[in-house]
Structure 1
Amino acid sequence: MARNTVGIRDVAREAGVSVTTVSHILNDVESARASDETRERVRATAQRLGYGANRIARSLRRQQSEMIGLLSEEIATTPHAGRIILGAQQAARERGLTLVLINTTRDALDIQRDTDALLRQQVDGVLYATMYHREIALPESLRAVPTVLIDSTSEDGRVPSVVPDEEGGAYVAVDELIRHGHRRIGFITNSDDVPATRGRLAGYRKALADAGLDFDPTLVVAEPSETPGGYKAAVEVLGRPDRPTGLFCYNDRMAMGAYRAAAELGLRIPDDLSLVGFDNQELIAEGLYPALTTVALPHFEMGEWALGALTTLMEAGDDSDQETVYEVAVLPCPLVRRQSVAAPARSKESVDE
């Protein structure tokens, strides 16, 4: 007789893998570190045991409120990051769930108050989405309900989380400049010591190293990651006699400041200077002239993944292990090509098409 209470731990045990691996594979996480053979084995095991999304949804309808809380740390008022909400909402709708949104601030008291307000709605689980990638201290009250973090990680690693591939995104940004023939590439970056800052610097350095280019620390200038900071950093790095021909910008706001600095220095984009940003804030990237080539944060995909991971936690119920340390899901950041990158003026003829 078929079992009626097959859980994710049953699948993991039968397939000989971790619960996290099962969750990543069944939620189609591209960055999951699993071979094709492991993926096939997990999916076949889940099918054989009768574990699947339909069973989860039926369980939710019978036993739970069918409401998911999304605690949004200011992202609801930020156009580009708002796609996190859209991704989570679409995934919730596909599962017959309702998303309840509360927009909070970065203040600890506000976060606690708004968390309590969500829990009073008797939500079955909570998605906690932060404004930018960093490590957070999870409100203690969220330990009592299934919770997944978006764009952040917990201090103890015991909460599933999804973040963008900061290093990989920076790598593709710098590689785009290298492919166009740039050999002297500056980096204007964030002065805050957060995971995004460290990851993007690592990606910048790796792209240079893989291309056989030396890392010059004087070409890296850190300022606050807003337009004025981008302007100030760009003036410094572009004002030198041996200025770079390519510039990687920590985000699109800093890139906007760099456009101003380039104009004041008499540099034309992309004829004299090529730029690549990060974030794909479309109001900025498409509004600049020429339009900015940049790297997109996978906001929609992070929201979608997080909702899937949350339903997996909710399905596990009392069978979930509070001591589990979860592997962070890392989603790729694709390059969005526009018109701000070209070959350096002195080498246009020699750059491969």
Structure 2
Amino acid sequence: MGSRPVDDVLDAASDGVHYSALRLEELNINGSMSGEEQPTTSGVENGHQEPFVIGVAGGASSGKSTVCKMIIDQLRDQRVVVVTQESFYYGLSDEELVHVHDYNFDHPDAFDTELLLSCMENLKHGKAVDIPNYNFKTYKSVASARKVNPSDVIILEGILVFHDSRVRDLMNMKIFVDTDADVRLTRRIRRDTIEKGRDIKTVLDQYSKFVKPAFEDFILPTKKYADIIIPRGGDNDVAIDLIVQHIRTKLGQHDLCKVHPNLYVIQTTYQIRGMHTIIRDAATTTHDFIFYADRLIRLVVEHGLGHLPFKEKQVITPTGSVYTGVEFSKRLCGISVIRR
């Protein structure tokens, strides 16, 4: 189904999803943390819970809008908003309007990516934005912009939403809708002739001149950035169900972090889930329970140690060279919490 490791995508597929987590009281960190691996944070920034941003890309008429609608329908208990890349088309000048049939709407330069980036960044930081309202008959943005408020989930949909690395970096999940070229062309002919009143010859000329080359040059290469690839688009119910379950898992982690802003959730893996399965099995022996419980505890402790304050320290190695490392800051206290 996708290019992402299976355990990253399907870790929400079971009925009971368990998290290994640790809670840290606020620490006054004076030591240098440079060079260390950044901890898995809760996504809370200055008291604001960042939304879960999903990018949905694919060729024109591949079924992106259908996939977005299916995700929204299943996330009905969450606040979800859709931002379409088509809203950010540049308005055409009078000269371009004269030769509108020679204008390539599938090229990256046709979009105001800077404005799109600004809107997405503001939404991600909890600020309401005005999304342009593009008129496809006049090929210009009309005065009445669409006001979009911050939400739990933001879906950014468009043919080239993966093209700019700055926009990609804002996404928590990237989905590429992969649909056969003949199916996409058939849908495009039906849409443009019925909804836009164009004749078939104009549609086919535009497809061969702009749409097909742009797909091969700009859209298809961005498929490599996708975390998940959905064959057949909205017809792939299984893929949509798994994606929604994964999103719900991530939102569940966010809910925990809303209650406890200093909570860090360790990302689950098949190894962790396997050990959870063993210690919850009534048939597990006492020896195996102790062994695997100890392994899980060690993982939590090791993850927790990475959040403690360090400071630089230089030592002399047995070869006489100087090694610059780190050591724990002083006056740390560890407390064992026993749950019955």
TM over 0.5: no
Q: TM-score when scaled to structure 2?
A: 0.30
Q: TM-score when scaled to structure 1?
A: 0.29
Structure scoring higher RCO (CA < 8 A, sep ≥ 6) equals 2
Give 1 or 2 for the bigger CA radius of gyration. Answer: 2
